[in-house]
Chains A and B, each alone.
Chain A
Amino acid sequence: MIRFTSVAKRYDTGGGPALERISFHVGRGEFVFLTGHSGAGKSTILKLIYAEERPSSGDVRALGFQIPRITADEIPRLRRRLGIVFQDFRLLTDRTAAENIAFALEVTGAREDVIPQRVHRVLEQVGLATKADAFPRELSGGEQQRIAIARALVNDPAVLLADEPTGNLDERATRGVYQLLRDINDSGTVVLMATHNLELVRASGQRIVELRDGTLVFDSAADQEEVS
């Protein structure tokens, strides 16, 4: 599904490389934690997957798209097969929860008559069917993140990318969002979650890819392969 091969990334703004010699592979049905301190390169990896950035060298493949050579026309097609969730939710504040989710369908040209039922389905999936008409300001942080996840899910993505989705949430909401992501993963969607919440990562038993100063220092999957 996703493959990084000797990827390096340098930003034009100067400074050291954001990523160096990164190689890893994420297969079908996996749940992967990307961990590391702030500035380690977690967000850069996610940006390379959804083609917000291009690698300086090396190759990134995501859902069959070759990111270094991806064209402007292909980027929307790639993103329609990905779901993306951020720490700051990125909801439109002047639209209701349902409208925020419907918006993701509308911009991809979905048929008008199927939108309400698909919105309702994902709202139920994230447990917020009763909050369909609420505006983001009327929802708690955890609820806003669930709406953002629902929006990411509404196009039935093959891969869900979550960049610090629990960064702004309290302990209870964090557990709730994590459980939701687990459920999504159980239904077959690949989940790649960037976080520096080590407690959550350690308790999860999921695959861990750890970054430090732009280099990959630990991959539990590779470690297990070595052991076996």
Chain B
Amino acid sequence: MKLLWREALLSFSRTRTLSALSVTTIAFALFVTGLFGLVALNLRAALGQIEERVEIVAFVLRGTPSQGLAVAMEDISAFPEVLSVRYVTEEEALAQAKADLVEFRDAYEAVQINPLPPSLELRLKPGYRDAAHVGEVAERLRGFPFIEDVRYGRDWVEKLDRLRTIGGVVGGVIGLAFALVSVVIIGVTIRITVLQRAREISIMRLVGATDWFIRGPFLLEGAIKGLLGGIFAFLLCFAVYALFKAQGLGLGTGLRFFTAIHAVGFLAFGMLLGLGGSLVSVGRHLRKV
């Protein structure tokens, strides 16, 4: 183990320029991936906020006995998809309409009879705010005899669904592409190190070192480079985030940065990339010689 660390650190100190270049290359490859991750994170936060507006309004027949309504509301609250149910009286509905639709305020003042029926306003739990689940809950609500009509803005929810799917696919594909580019860049960088030490590897083999013994220092070196690259990339991402935040730019939800778990995952990803790149490069070299 001591030898492993010594050889890996020795390689760093002997090839300072190349090592610095490797770490920089890895850092920039991961920086691009990290930037994309940040964009995806903020887009998701924005989508999440839009999703929160998904609401089902079930209009209740006038004259429905309050006792029966209370029991039904308990049943509806017990639906697995439902986060909350609120009963909106006719008066509340009118007051809300007056507040929301200022241009019709005079018209509402003129009418003698309140045209707005009482209603139930349902909010759904995260993960159930898509067209399929919303439609299902709406259908179930229609089954109650005192429900006159159910509205939830089908087109709008379906559009949100499509946006989510496109976001997911584009995010997955681009994220994967960036990650693959990082793997290739890191692999090439480490391959240069391996080639530079080809003579040492051939001597190690001649004196009876096992392939795993030869791989060891390279793997450690790759992991360290990946980790260092990850740290630099993370700091660069933070700098970009801070710059955007200082400019007041965001998607209406306030800018978000990686959480501690994201940060650990990001650094572990860098380390794994370094390790994987080394494993492939050294393995290929050992098979050739």
Interface residues of A (CB under 8 A from B): 50, 72-73, 76-80, 84, 90, 92, 94, 103-104, 106-109, 112, 151, 155
Contacts and interface: CB of A to CB of B under 8 A. Distances in A.
Contacts, number: 45
B202 A107 contact: no
A76 B213 CA distance: 11
14 contacts: A73-B210, A76-B209, A84-B207, A90-B199, A90-B203, A92-B199, A92-B200, A92-B203, A103-B204, A107-B209, A107-B213, A112-B2, A151-B207, A155-B208
Nearest to B209: A107
B111 interface: no
B180 to A, nearest CB: 30
A106 B207 CA distance: 10
Dominant secondary structure at the B interface: helix
A90 B202 contact: yes
Interface of B: 2-3, 14, 199-200, 202-211, 213-214
With a 10 A CB-CB cut-off, give which of A72, A78, A103 has the most chain B CB atoms.
A103
Given A94-B14, A107-B213, A80 B208 contact: yes
Contacts of A73: 210
B211 A72 contact: yes
Contacts of B204: 103, 107
Contacts of A109: 213
A227 to B, nearest CB: 38
Nearest to B6: A106
B200 A76 contact: no
Contacts of B203: 90, 92, 103
A72 B286 CA distance: 11
Nearest to B206: A84
Contacts of B14: 94
A78 B209 CA distance: 11
Contacts of B202: 90
A106 B3 CA distance: 8
B112 to A, nearest CB: 95
A108 B209 contact: yes
B3 A79 contact: no
A117 to B, nearest CB: 18
Given A79-B205, A84-B206, A107-B207, 15 more contacts: A50-B206, A72-B211, A73-B210, A76-B209, A79-B206, A84-B207, A92-B203, A94-B14, A103-B204, A104-B208, A107-B209, A109-B213, A112-B2, A151-B207, A155-B208
